[in-house]
Amino acid sequence: MAPRTPLSRLRAAVERVETRSEPSAAGPPLALGWDGPDAAIGGGLRRGAVHEWLTGDPDPSGGHWWGPPLGVLIHAAGRALREDAAGRRAVWVGRRVWPHPRAVRAAALLERSVFVAPRGDAERLWAIDLALRCAGVAVVVADGSGLGMGESRRLQLAAGAGGGVCLLARPWWERREVSAAWTRWRVAPAPSDWTDPRWTVELLRCKGVRPAPEDARRWAVRREHETGDVRVAADAPDRPGEAAGPATGWAARRRA
Amino acid sequence: MGQDRQRQVVLACCESAREAGVTPGLPVAEAGGLLPSGARVEAYTPESDAEALRAIAVWSRRFSPVVAPDPPDGVLLDATGCGPVHGGEEQLVGAVVEGFARHGLTARAAIAPTFGCAWALARFGDAEAAVVPEGGARNAIAPLPTRALRIDADVDAALAEVGIERVEHLLNLPRSTLPPRFGPDVLLRLDLALGHAIETIEPVRPSAPPEAERVFDGPTTRWDALELTVRGLLAEVCDALRARESGARRIEVELDRSDLDPTGFALSMSQPCRDARHLWSLARPQLERAHLGFGVEGVRARASRLGRLPHEQRERWREGAAVADAATERAVAELTDTLTNRLGPGGALVFEPRESHVPERAGRLRPVGIGGPAAQIDACPRHDRPTLLIDPPEPVRVMALTPDGPVMSVNWRGEDRRIVACIGPERIGPEWWAGDRSGRDYFKAQDERGQWLWVRRDTADGRWSVHGVWA
C-alpha cells in the first residue's frame, strides 16, 4: 500500500530504519502456515533471501552424520509452489537434500522439481547461485554445509537478484559460522506418543527482529502423514509424566 | 488460364468447374459464361507452379526418403522398401491419396516396378490408387493409350494416324521397326516403362542446416577475437533459425587449428532455442576449455538438430497466464541447459514415477529434456514413507523382542538408541521380476529423542538395516 501523506511516509521510513529492512521487492513473504513463527518473522519467509535450517547433534562426535530437516523443507517448498501462478520450479541442489519421492505428497511439487547433482563444493555453490538467479525458480532447497561468510553473502545477493526463496540445510555444528542468511532456524526431533513425526522448531535469528526470549521462539510442529504438511502442534498432548510445554525434546535430552 | 495463339484459354480447372462444362482448351471468355459469378480465374505462372510442386515433394518425404518433383503435375517417389513401414504397398498408396485429400488436394497414385509404369497408371489407369506387382508392368500398361508413355504430342498424333492408339499395339510391333518410323523417343519411353532401361530421378533435399563460418587471416589464439567471432557466428545461426521459425536443439562449433586436427564442442539444449545470448553463455565455458594449439585459423558453427519454435510475435497474441508460463518454461530451460552443459547429462534431473512398492524403485530420476513429458504423478500409493531414504540401507545391530518382532533398541552409526515406540511390521514382498530374492519387514521406530527410523529386516536372512529417517 502506497503511503499517501507525508506523515505516513515518514512513519514508514522510521519503521524501516527501526527494523533495518526494506520490504522485499520480490513479493509478499512466504507464509509457512504456522501462526507463531510466521508472526515472529513478519508474516513468513522473506522472498529473495536465504533461510538456514540447522539440524543434528550439538557435538560432531556422533559420526558426523546429519540429515536435513526434509519434513519442514518439503512443506515450505510445497507452499512456495502452491501459491505460484506462473508455474515456477523448485530446485533441489545436492543429493543430500533430495527427498524420498513417496514422502512428497503434493504431486505438483514433484512434477515441478528439478534435482541437481553437483560433483563438488565449488559446483554446488555455483549451481545454487545459478538456480537462485533464474526467473523460473520459486524456491531452491540446497545442501548448505561447509559454506563460509563469503559464500553465504554471495547466495544472499543471488537470491535478492532472482527473487526466489533459498532454503539451506546446514549441520548444527556449523552454528558458530557467521552467515548472511535472513533467518536461521533449528529443527530437532521431539518425542511424543503419537505416530506422526514431531519436531521442535526454534528461531535462532531473524534480521530486523529483536530476539525473543527462549520460550517465545520455540514451537512444536508435527507432520501430517496424509498431506505431508507440517503444522503447529498446539493441541498435542505430550508424553505422560514429562513436563508440559513445547520444549519437551530439549528437556528429555538434558535429562538423558 | 494461359495464352494460346493470342487467345486466353483454360489450362486447368477444378472438379466443380468441370461439372459446369469447362474443359481445358476452352477460351476463357466462354468459360466465364458457364461459371457462376465469383469463380476464381488465375493467370498461369510456371514459376509458382514449380515452387508449389517442390513444396509438395518436400512434404511427400514422409512417405519415402527419395522424392523428386515431376513437372508439371506429378511427384515421383522411390517407394522401394517403404511398403512395410505402412503395413503394405496398398496401405502406402492409400495413405498418399488420403494425405493429399486432408490438404484439399485430389491425387491419383500408383506403385509400379518402374517410374514410367507408375506415371502411366496414375494418369490413365482406372483406379485412384493402383499397385502393380513386380513383373506386372507389361500387362498393366498394355491397355493404356499411347500418351501414357510420356511421348510428345506430335509423335502421339503420328501414331494415331496409323491406327496405333494403345500401348499394346506398340508392343505387338517388332522393336527394330519403331525408331525408323516414329523416332528414337518411342522405343526409349517404352523401355523405361517396362524396365529395360534405367531411369534416375533427382531427389529434393531438405534445406541444409543453418551454418556459419569465418576464416581468420592467420592463426590466432587471441581470446577477444575468438569471443567476437563465436558470438557473431551464433547470432548468424540464430538469424537463419528465426527465418525458418525453428530453434536449435544442438549446435556444433568447430575450430580449425593450424598444424593440428580440428577441435570442437557441442551445445545441447533441452528445448529448441535461438537466443544468441543464451547460446553464448553455454558456449563460453566450453570455448575457455578448448585447446587452441598454435592458433585457430577458422571457426564454424552448425545447428545439427532443430526443433520448431514459433516466431516471437506469436506470443503477443497469447493470454496473460500463458505468456507467464512460456517465460517460466524458457527460463527453466536455460537453467537446465546451463546445468547440463557444466555438470554433464546427469546434472539436472526430473522425477519419473514407477509403479513399485519397493521404496528405492518408487521412481526414477531422468535427465531433463530426454524422454517424453512428465508423467502423471498422482497414482502413488499413499503409505507412510520416510522423508529421507538411506540408499543403500545401512546395516545395524538390533535388539528385538522376538527374532522378527518389535524392535527394542538399535545401534546405528555407533550410537545406541533405545526404541520407545515401534509400529509394524509392514511387509513388502520381493519383486522377483526385478531380481529380488528377499522380502522385507519394515518397522517405524521412534528412539527416545523422538527421531523416527525406518528399520528393515530382510525376511530371507534376518539381517537388519536402517533404510530411512523421518528427518
pLDDT tens-digit profile of B185-238?
A: 888 888 888 888 888 888 777 777 889 999 998 898 889 999 999 999 999 999
B323 touches chain A (CB under 8 A): no
Residues A2-50 pLDDT 10s: 557 888 888 888 877 765 556 666 778 899 989 888 888 888 899 989 9
Cβ within 8 Å of A, B 194-233: none
pLDDT tier, B322 (very low <50, low <70, confident <90, very high otherwise): low
The answer to whether the CB atoms of B331 and A117 lie below 8 A apart is no
What's the mean pLDDT in B444-448?
A: 89
> Which pLDDT score, from 0 to 100, does residue A170 have?
92
Pick from B349, B468, B470: CB nearest A117: B349
> Which pLDDT score, from 0 to 100, does residue B233 have?
94
Residues B331-355 pLDDT 10s: 888 898 888 888 888 888 888 877 7
- Checking if the pLDDT of A236 tops 70, the result is no
Cα gap A138→A91, rounded to integer Å: 8
Give the residue with greater pLDDT, A157 vs B353: A157
Cβ within 8 Å of A, B 412-471: 413-415, 420-421, 423, 444, 446, 448-452, 468-471
Q: Which of B319, B329, B339, B382 to mutate to test the interface with A (most CBs of A within 10 A)?
A: B339
Cβ within 8 Å of A, B 354-383: 359, 362-363, 365, 368, 374, 376-378, 380-383
- Checking if the pLDDT of A253 tops 60, the result is no
**What is the residue-averaged pLDDT of chain B?**
84
Determine the distance in angstroms separating the CA of B365 from the nearest CA of chain A, rounded to an integer: 8
Closest among B441, B444, B434 to B458, alpha carbons compared: B441
| β-bridge pairing A137-143 and A165-171 | parallel
Closest among B465, B441, B463 to B453, alpha carbons compared: B465
A-B Cβ pairs (cutoff 8 Å, strict)? 157
The answer to whether the CB atoms of B336 and A114 lie below 8 A apart is yes
pLDDT tier, B415 (very low <50, low <70, confident <90, very high otherwise): confident
pLDDT tier, A245 (very low <50, low <70, confident <90, very high otherwise): very low
- Cβ pair B273, B247 in contact under 8 A: yes
The answer to whether the CB atoms of A130 and B338 lie below 8 A apart is yes
Is the four-CA dihedral B58, B61, B65, B66 of positive or negative sign? negative
**What is the residue-averaged pLDDT of chain A?**
82
* Chain B neighbors of A198, CB-CB under 8 A: 450
* Chain A neighbors of B387, CB-CB under 8 A: 70-71, 74, 99-100, 103
pLDDT tier, A241 (very low <50, low <70, confident <90, very high otherwise): very low
- Collapse the DSSP code of A94 into the 3-class scheme (helix H, G, I; strand E, B; otherwise coil) and give the result: coil
- Cβ pair B182, B163 in contact under 8 A: no
> Which pLDDT score, from 0 to 100, does residue B25 have?
79
- Checking if the pLDDT of B121 tops 90, the result is no
* Chain A neighbors of B448, CB-CB under 8 A: 191, 252, 256
Cα gap A57→A66, rounded to integer Å: 8
The answer to whether the CB atoms of B471 and A135 lie below 8 A apart is no
Pick from B332, B387, B468: CB nearest A89: B332
β-strand partners of B251: B267, B303
Cα gap B149→B197, rounded to integer Å: 13
Element spanning B323, H or E: helix B320-343
- Checking if the pLDDT of A255 tops 80, the result is no
**CA B79 remoteness from chain centre:** 20
ipTM exceeding cut-off 0.90 for this assembly: no
Closest among A155, A130, A245, A32 to B348, alpha carbons compared: A130
Computed over its alpha carbons, how large is the radius of gyration of chain B? 36
User: Can you give the pTM of this predicted structure?
Assistant: 0.67
> Which pLDDT score, from 0 to 100, does residue B412 have?
86
Cβ within 8 Å of B, A 127-156: 127, 130-131, 134-137
Cβ within 8 Å of B, A 60-89: 62-63, 65, 67-71, 74, 85-89
Q: Identify the closest residue of chain B to A88 by CA–CA distance.
A: B328
Determine the distance in angstroms separating the CA of B246 from the nearest CA of chain A, rounded to an integer: 23
Give the residue with greater pLDDT, A208 vs B340: B340
B345 touches chain A (CB under 8 A): no
Residues A39-91 pLDDT 10s: 888 888 999 899 999 987 665 555 556 788 999 999 999 999 987 878 889 99
Cα gap B54→B67, rounded to integer Å: 10
> Which pLDDT score, from 0 to 100, does residue B51 have?
85
pLDDT tier, A251 (very low <50, low <70, confident <90, very high otherwise): very low
> Which pLDDT score, from 0 to 100, does residue A58 have?
62
Pick from A99, A117, A195: CB nearest B343: A117
Q: Identify the closest residue of chain A to B333 by CA–CA distance.
A: A136
Tell me what percent of chain A is helix, strand and coil, each rounded to the nearest 5.
Answer: 35, 20, 45
CA max distance for chain B: 113
The answer to whether the CB atoms of B385 and A67 lie below 8 A apart is no
Give the residue with greater pLDDT, B114 vs B380: B114
Q: Identify the closest residue of chain A to B468 by CA–CA distance.
A: A100
* Chain A neighbors of B365, CB-CB under 8 A: 115
Determine the distance in angstroms separating the CA of A256 from the nearest CA of chain B, rounded to an integer: 9
Percent of chain B residues topping a pLDDT of 90: 13
Q: Identify the closest residue of chain B to A128 by CA–CA distance.
A: B339
- C-alpha neighbours within 13 Å on the C-beta side of residue A64: 2
Determine the distance in angstroms separating the CA of A7 from the nearest CA of chain B, rounded to an integer: 38
Is the four-CA dihedral B220, B224, B229, B231 of positive or negative sign? positive
β-strand partners of A221: A199, A232
**CA B464 remoteness from chain centre:** 51
pLDDT tier, B461 (very low <50, low <70, confident <90, very high otherwise): confident
Peptide bond into B373 cis (omega under 30): no
Strand order in the sheet with B388-395: B388-395, B464-469, B452-458, B440-447, B415-428, B407-412, B397-400
Residues A109-134 pLDDT 10s: 888 899 999 988 999 999 999 999 99
Determine the distance in angstroms separating the CA of A110 from the nearest CA of chain B, rounded to an integer: 7
- Checking if the pLDDT of B313 tops 70, the result is no
What's the mean pLDDT in A206-213?
A: 82
Cβ within 8 Å of A, B 396-415: 413-415
Residues B420-441 pLDDT 10s: 989 878 888 888 887 888 888 9
Q: Identify the closest residue of chain B to A96 by CA–CA distance.
A: B388
* Chain B neighbors of A62, CB-CB under 8 A: 413-415
The answer to whether the CB atoms of A136 and B330 lie below 8 A apart is yes
What's the mean pLDDT in B33-50?
A: 79
Rounded to 10°, the helix A121-133/A149-162 angle is 20
Nine cell digits for residue B355: 509403479
Pick from B328, B420, B450: CB nearest A87: B328
> Which pLDDT score, from 0 to 100, does residue B228 have?
92
Determine the distance in angstroms separating the CA of A30 from the nearest CA of chain B, rounded to an integer: 19
The answer to whether the CB atoms of A101 and B351 lie below 8 A apart is yes
Q: Identify the closest residue of chain A to B446 by CA–CA distance.
A: A191
Q: For A93-103, b where at least 16 C-beta lie within 10 A, e where not — what string?
A: bbebbbbbbbb
The amino acid sitting at B406 is P
> Which pLDDT score, from 0 to 100, does residue A249 have?
36
A121 touches chain B (CB under 8 A): no
B52 touches chain A (CB under 8 A): no
